[in-house]
Structure 1
Amino acid sequence: MANEATMDKLYQMRMSVMARAYREQEESIGVAEMPFDDRLAMLVDAEWDARRANKRTRLLRQAAFCDPDANVCDVRYDPDRALDRAKVMELSNCTWVDAARNLIITGASGAGKSWMACALGVAACNAFKTVRYVRLPELLDTLCIAKGETWAKMRKRYIACDLLIVDDWLLETISPSQTREVLEIVEARHRKGSLILCSQFAPSGWRAKLGDNAMADAVVDRLVFNSHVMHIEGTESMRKRMSGII
């Protein structure tokens, strides 16, 4: 039977899955005749798979997606949306995140920008990358109102992740102090982490909403440089498409 001292050590090292797999091996017919290396590999695989699954679950929870069930396999390629299937599949591989490139998703209200961003964010979590989702108004409230330890902690959260998704990007003009906070986040992430920006407006209209000054130029230059752009066409709401309403 499984050595109880070994079992206790496995549980103390928080290797409970391996401990259970060890017990199951001892209770399974024919396993005792297997080579030691094969039995060890089975134990390690069980622990490895469980930890990967737990990590993925933790990453998805921490990302705080507005639509955690979004999946690139469910993208609607209706003709009027003018979406490039090959491009979407390429983005879902997350090589652009590895290269610290950005993605700008534009389209009318209800076009499905947020859903698409979440679907690609979920793909990044599946690739074991850290992701954060936030609406720009919430991000600005956090950074411009909260100060001290809370401010520093939240700022680090937006900077340190592999992929930051900012929804409702520049729906309205922001103040100089808000533009400064945006610049600090963008500058800290430049060439080090990726961004997905969801906006109803093309980048050509961002400068005016950022104050049309040197800070605005710096923000737009860093965001647009070497970025992918996805424009979702169509006038019918994504919510209507997904509900099956004709």
Structure 2
Amino acid sequence: MTHVATRFEELISDETNDELTPEQIFLTAVDDALDQRQAHRIDKLIRAARFPIPHASIAEINYQDGRGLTPARMKRYAGHHWGQDPTNLLIISPTGGGKTYLACAIGIAACHNGHTVTYARMDDLARRLVIARVDGIGHQKRLNELSQVELLIIDDFLTVGIDPEAANDLFAVLANREHRLPTMIASQSQPSYWVEALPDRVAADSIVNRLANNAREINLGDIDMRRQRDDRARATLGYWE
């Protein structure tokens, strides 16, 4: 209401609005307040997700040949209702392929659509879960948060090893999310490798089954976007090493 009152006063003081009725000015002030409230909510969702690239945008995605991306496909992801579709998303490419940027861009678009999102790098997530085990209540709270967020993004999936306790926590989270909420995985490797890399074969089969059998996949090919970016930077005027 404070913003409505402030904006109403600003609009009344603006001579360009002299031909508008008080009702029209009031409704404009209300619309501005609602827009500001929505913007604040989006900013809050993006901050809470803890994206490593908070400026990533689907509008800035590179669609060069060989990346498996099209504007039409990305438009679908930009407007996707994650809370209503439990289908997972796997983003696969070698290092430098742009997986993190793409995951952040899709996640930020989800925030703009009002969805709750959590981004975590696999090694950091595993470490935090193991540390949280010293506090049973805090540990369970963290598992619940990961189970309930509308879109869970796990980046660098199994780029490094994971200990059995963290694997058990991952299994619990994915089991809770199955048929309810989607998980996005960004990885350098294919699901066939995940089965071999996880410490417990039985748990590995269950984890990979839950992730891969109900999933869409984006394969970004072998293009090294990081090297292309660095080469462009070296070609710019004034670059020095």
* TM-score of the aligned structures, taking structure 2 as reference length: 0.86
SS at match of 1:119: helix
- Residue 173 of structure 1, CA deviation: 3.8
Aligned to 1:8: none
Whether contact under 8 Å (2:117, 2:151) holds in the other structure is yes
Question: Where do 5+ consecutive residues of structure 2 fail to align?
Answer: 236-241
Structure 1 segments (4+ residues) deviating >6 Å: none
Written as runs of structure 1 = structure 2, the 5 A alignment for 1:98-137 is 98-137=84-123
Give CA-to-partner distance per residue, 1:102-123, whole Å, 9 cap, x none: 1100110111111110111111
CA distance in 1, matches of 2:186, 2:41: 27
Whether contact under 8 Å (1:96, 1:102) holds in the other structure is no
Aligned to 1:188: 176
Aligned to 1:65: 51
Whether contact under 8 Å (1:173, 1:208) holds in the other structure is no
Aligned to 1:242: 229
Query: Which of 165, 170, 176 is 2:158 aligned to?
Result: 170
Q: Which moved more, 1:173-182 or 1:56-65?
A: 173-182
Query: Which of 178, 187, 199 is 2:187 aligned to?
Result: 199
Whether contact under 8 Å (1:142, 1:154) holds in the other structure is no
Aligned to 2:32: 46
SS at match of 2:66: helix
Give CA-to-partner distance per residue, 1:20-59, whole Å, 9 cap, x none: 0222244344868755543442232121011001111111
- Residue 137 of structure 1, CA deviation: 1.0
Shift in CA distance, 115/30, structure 1 to aligned 2, threshold 3 Å? closer
Q: Which moved more, 1:60-69 or 1:206-215?
A: 206-215
- Residue 156 of structure 1, CA deviation: 3.0
- Residue 93 of structure 1, CA deviation: 1.6
CA distance in 2, matches of 1:76, 1:31: 43
Give CA-to-partner distance per residue, 1:86-106, whole Å, 9 cap, x none: 222221222355312211001
CA distance in 2, matches of 1:96, 1:161: 10
Whether contact under 8 Å (1:97, 1:162) holds in the other structure is yes
Whether contact under 8 Å (1:133, 1:166) holds in the other structure is yes
Question: Where do 5+ consecutive residues of structure 1 fail to align?
Answer: 1-14
What is the aligned-residue RMSD (CA, Å)? Answer: 2.2
SS at match of 1:80: coil
- Residue 196 of structure 1, CA deviation: 1.1
Aligned to 2:3: 17
SS at match of 1:198: strand
CA distance in 2, matches of 1:171, 1:193: 24
- Residue 193 of structure 1, CA deviation: 1.9
1:87 aligns to 2:73 (yes or no): yes
Taking only the aligned residue pairs, the percentage that are identical comes to 29
- 1:239 partner amino acid: R
- Residue 127 of structure 1, CA deviation: 1.0
Give CA-to-partner distance per residue, 1:129-153, whole Å, 9 cap, x none: 1111111111111112213243233
1:139 aligns to 2:125 (yes or no): yes
1:151 aligns to 2:108 (yes or no): no
* TM-score of the aligned structures, taking structure 1 as reference length: 0.84
Whether contact under 8 Å (1:60, 1:122) holds in the other structure is yes
Whether contact under 8 Å (1:142, 1:151) holds in the other structure is no
CA distance in 1, matches of 2:211, 2:59: 28
Aligned to 1:4: none
Whether contact under 8 Å (1:106, 1:199) holds in the other structure is yes
- Residue 72 of structure 1, CA deviation: 0.9
- Residue 126 of structure 1, CA deviation: 1.2
